[in-house]
Structure 1
Amino acid sequence: MTTASWNEISEAEHFVQFCETDAFLINSVSEFIGTGLRAGDAGIVLGTMPHRESLEERLKGDGLAVAAAHERGQYVSADAAATLSKIMVDGSPDPGRFVEVIGSMIMRAAQGRSRVRVFGELVALLWADGNRAAAIRLEELWNDLARTYSFSLFCAYPMQGFGRGAYEAEFTEICKQHSRVIPAESYAALTSPDERLRAITLLQQKANSLEAEIAERKVAEKSLRLSEIRYRRLFEAARDGVLILDPETRKILDANPFMEDLLGYPREELIGKELFEIGLLKDMSANQAMLRELQVKNCIRYEESLETTMGKPQEIEVVANLYDEGEKSIIQCNIRDITERKEIERRKDDFISIASHELKTPITSLKGFTQVLQRRLKKHADQEALRFLAIMDIQLNKLTNLINELLDISKMQQGKLDYREEYFDLDALIQEVVENLQAGTSTHQLLIEVRTAVEVFGDRDRIGQVLINLLTNAIKYSSEADMVLVCASKDEENAVVSVQDFGIGIAATHHEQIFERFYQVTAPEEKTYSGLGMGLYICAEIIKRHQGRIWVESSKDHGSTFSFTLPLQMYHARASGNSSVTFPLKRGRAT
């Protein structure tokens, strides 16, 4: 490089000089450092003792007051081997020590100066010792440091260190780590002009390829830096708490400021802790179950209560995602404070409960008066008036059912829904419900296929409520069909009840949400059905209370099958004649 070229060195330049002689190296370094010192830049030299002494002699010979520059902190000279010993741990450069030693050196030199120029032989020493992986890692750390500190770096390698073909990959990697590569000063081994021209042409081709790769790498690194900056800004400014966890140790790797405010811990105290240590997932079995589910699904959501360091109770929603981040995985937990939302929901439930109770009294009175009028008008044979009263009675029944559903939901939310548990004949309950509904419908035939032969333990009325809801829905959403099938069976663990219709069906996208409160399946092209979307939610809560599960199997235009289970810890067939009873199942009478 010429003197003009040394003047054109920009910040964040990282170039490498391959040299065959010390004289050529000293000449290049003296121009690099000397040009900077004359321009008022700071110069840092991390070299071997012979090279530092030769360099200072050369700088003095060029008219530079090296001692004065050293006195005012503009010129810093340090032994490469001694510096290397401060940053190495177990044969590899330690990132933290590197930043602490080299970063602080650059920061001090930069005070009051626009630029810092650094010449380093740390990598050359590692390469000479045969620690090639550490040399390449150190080059990477220099590049990482350039993202935080502003400086230009000149590295040097003796060309004889790359005399073997086995080093080609490492040589290429070292070149890739630099923004500019300066070739060795001699190619005297090439004896003829033609050989030299051929060699130069080949080197030009390789250099062009290398430069193209470096240019692409710079673009990619710039894009990555911008992406990292954007992510960090979002991370710091998020109005939800964010925790980053190590999936193996389950310890916190990072936390954003909102997490500090939510929990009352400074970030430094959160790092390295497990979730149960900060009040989250204290139940170790729940903790283990959550991690197992996350490994399978990669994303889970749950709600829980926690108590902050100030003793303040909080309701939170946690969405945890398992990501691959290069060669390792991380867990990102987004945590939202839903205390206010939960309080609003509680107030809403209280309002629904009060309003429903207040509505129930006048509805009961209206129904009573309707029945009185019906009896009186029968004596006068006023058929039209009786028809109107029958319609009124039907609508009052619908309103009563709606109010009862609202009351049930309110009680469920408060944990006050009454359950009168006893042993009852499941087959008989199904038969009774079907017969009652069949009497009220002429559009569908309700078919039964049951063979449980067991008595189950639970609230007979509530299980009947589930059956009524599922059968009513089956009739309602299969207006083009004329049949609904009710099946009941058992295995070693459960009694299973299914209600199958042959109606409009439910798209798979709705299957998980259909049991949520107030959820309704709607589409612009579909018919609108009456209701508030509470029935299936109530069914799900009742079955959950009985330690069973409920699900749907359906697809669009192919009907639906709603099923639920009632767990049987033990059961006895009716034919056994054994009168022993074991919770939660009792055998029926022998037949």
Structure 2
Amino acid sequence: MRVVEQVPGSGGPASSVVGDAVGDHLVGFYDDEGHLERAVVSFLTPGLEQGGAGVIVATPAHRTRFVTALRRAGVDVDDALADDRLVVLDASDLIEAFLRDGTPDPDEFRRSVGDVMARAGQGGRPVRVFGEMVALLWERGNVPAVIALEDAWNRLADEHPFALFCAYPIHAFDDSAAAEAFRAVVDCHSHVLPSEALDDDGGPNTSARLVALLEQQANAERAERDRLQVRQGELEAELERLRDLDRLRNEFVSMVVHDIQSPATVVAALLELLRSNWASLPADAVEEHLATALESIRRVERLTSDILTVARIDSGQFSYVLRSLDLRSVVEQAVTGVRDATGRHIELSAPSDLAPVCADADRQLQVLTNLLTNAVKFSAEGTVVTVAIEQQTDRQLVHVRDEGIGIARNEQVALFLPFSRLHDRRDRQARGTGLGLHTAKALVEGQGGRIWVDSEPGKGSTFTYTVPLADT
């Protein structure tokens, strides 16, 4: 482990993060969110400004905070995101991509995280990574997984060179019994950046490892006397959460207004065209214009349906009418509806002797319509969308396959999150509000099933969900 020199008058170790090289593995501890923000920005900004890449793997609150701070620091965030020089991922979702039985699976870690590193480092760009997956695992009490993940990062650096900055809230080590595990965490890193609590004089830190160990012990003792401050911390965290919710609400309202305004504009223009030229338009042109207007209205209907469904699920007011039904008939209804609305070729394959399932017919129809609409949206005209029902012992599987653009592995992590929007690599434009797949996941799980995706860029996607069989 190398010693980290603090710059006098710089406000702490955050400024010293800037000079770290590819291959370095830093760990920082923080009391204050502002201190963490400054450290992360000072770590990522120089690389991004010099044409390198940055990766942020963090909680939703921190992702928002760091991206906002990078903008304030003068980084062209939108350009970096569009060029894959800035990759922002959810720490919890990425953990689930490689955690198996509470332990990081080395192969899954190499695939999921290695893909992200390869994407960011394309063209030989130097990569700087900030991650707090280890901090989340520590908060869960899974210390062995923390150490294993730190080691996995170190091994991955041999394949995809990068500089890595991990951060832990110092209060995570309040318990004096955590001293041994704390030492193990420190030993996994090449640099140690103690928190702002021991940075009063701004002088050089001559033994970062010793300072960090002493800080942990002092903080554990201090925590025993300062429990009354817990409530204040909880209130600050709640305030931060409310700010994030307010930001999400504003972004969502903007997206919804856009996604309603666009089809409304189309309908208004077509109606004006028909009103002004009704007598001179041939019948087939009238039919085409009316079909376009109808599809625009249906887009608004699907959007409002998804919004209402998500709102009712989130408020706990959503219920299901579960009964024994023939799933094939529901699938046929969905296929016919989307086929008629889009004119696309959709094939259905199902055994003739399907057992009845236990499900809500209306919600099954909503799930299938969302998946089929998505398949059509992200595949070219002339390609085939296929729906297949597979009978198993205690459930049926519904597969919706397309021959479209596919989805990169790193994008699959956040695919079913609300407001997560796919990017079409053909035009680099975000499409839709991101509620369709989130709604489908909630409805499938609410009926006792689960949903997942198998996809590769350029090879199409297969969305699969399960439906329990009815009791016989």
What's the TM-score, normalizing by structure 2?
A: 0.47
Normalising by structure 1, what TM-score?
A: 0.38
More strand by share: 1
